[in-house]
Amino acid sequence: MQLGDLAQPLATFGLALLLVVGATAGTAIVAGELTDTSTQPDVESFQPDSLLPTPVADEGAVGAPDAATPKTVVVDVSHGNDVSRADMQPLVNSLVGAGHEVQFFSGGSSNFGPPAGAESPLSTELQEADALVIANPATAYSDDEVDSIEAFTTGGGKLLLLADTPTRASSSTPALPGLPTTGSTAAASGQPTNVAGRFGITFGSGYLYDMTDNANNFQYVYGDPAGSDELSAEADRTVFREAVPLVTRDAATTVVESSDARLSSTRENGTFAVAARSGNVVAVGDTWFLSPDAATLADNEQLVGDIASFLVTDQGGAGLAPASGGGAALSDGTVDPSPTPPANGTNTTA
């Protein structure tokens, strides 16, 4: 066969090949137009400008309190208190930095020996103290202890009561063994209810939340100063986490309040007291604001500094008239043994 004889079949083959490839390409181009032609939706709610929340100002430092003489602040951890030095480091640093002493009292198992008679270790410890901090106790304070604490404040000692929502503490810290307490746990364990009740203050059971005006989460509510107490005069806007509302009566007055908040248990809307004061006693329905995470948020550093001052300052503040006559009155161990009759000493929670 001559080469020329193959020309026609080869040409036919090439033509057929071109036809097939061309048809495929053409079809592919047409088909290509059928692919996803939709466009990315424009989602207004995804625009970063409207999405990113404004951070809560976190600057400043907790100021050091002024006090002429060094004082001793006792933090009670002998009742299974759900609080540690790390939880209130800014307050401790502030006090220690100003020359005061902070002791965490765990029951005096070794220093004081077995408790003698009816005198509880806490009562003994108070004789050396100028201020007492009670936060989130797992067990109730006995009547004798509450009497001692009341006498302590009457004698010029300062008392700071702190509590979170009750369920948090009760599950994590069991009662310490060997304590001369009655062993009865208060119904609202985790809150120093019977101590606070003696001073006309009651801690609530739910927590406060605010769905609109909050510190980037509904459980982080803002507090505003209430009244003209020096404790909160400089703290225009404070932040609390799951704050417990306080109910006050008698001489106790609200110092910090959260307005337009709601209570988790009832969903009730209103203005709730977060911090209250009754003479030498201050109660706050939160412990988180003392923590390193929170102590410099918003104006919290001002409130923490004012609380530090409150603990070590002799004068209770404007309008407060505890018959202290000098902050070091207890340093010689003379505790007024006569308990004041509890006018409204019942601590039944309403």
Task: Report yes or no: 257 and 271 within 8 Å, Cβ to Cβ.
Answer: yes
- DSSP of 52-81: SPPPPPB---PPPPP-SS--EEEEE-TT--
Cross-strand bridge partners of residue 141: none
Q: Which stretch in 14-22, 55-63, 120-128, 309-317 sits in contact with other proteins by CB under 8 A?
A: 55-63
Of 141, 152, 203, 220, the residue at the interface with other proteins (CB under 8 A) is 220
Regarding 41 and contact with other proteins (CB under 8 A), the answer is yes
Q: At closest approach, how far in Å is the CB of 46 from other proteins? A: 6
Least separation in angstroms between residue 289's CB and other proteins is 13
AA letter at 72: T
Q: In the 8-state DSSP scheme, what is residue 300?
A: H
Rule CB under 8 A: choose which of 2, 8, 44, 348 binds other proteins: 44
CA distances from 196 to 42, 79, 156, 244 (A): 56, 15, 17, 13
Q: Residue 1 or 34: which CB sits closer to other proteins?
A: 34
Rounded to whole angstroms, the Cα distance separating 182 from 296 reads 39
Determine if 39 is a binding residue for other proteins (CB under 8 A): yes
Minimum CB separation from other proteins for residue 262, in Å?
10
235, 245 contact by CB (below 8 A): no
Among the candidate windows 22-30, 65-73, 211-219, 341-349, which touches other proteins by CB under 8 A? 211-219
Contact 283, 203 (CB under 8 A): yes
Shortest distance (Å) from residue 44 CB to other proteins: 6
Question: What is d(CA 345, CA 199) in angstroms, rounded to the nearest whole number?
Answer: 8
Contact between 59 and other proteins by CB under 8 A: the answer reads no
Contact residues for other proteins, defined by CB under 8 A: 34-36, 38-41, 43-46, 50-53, 55-56, 58, 211-212, 215-218, 220, 293, 297
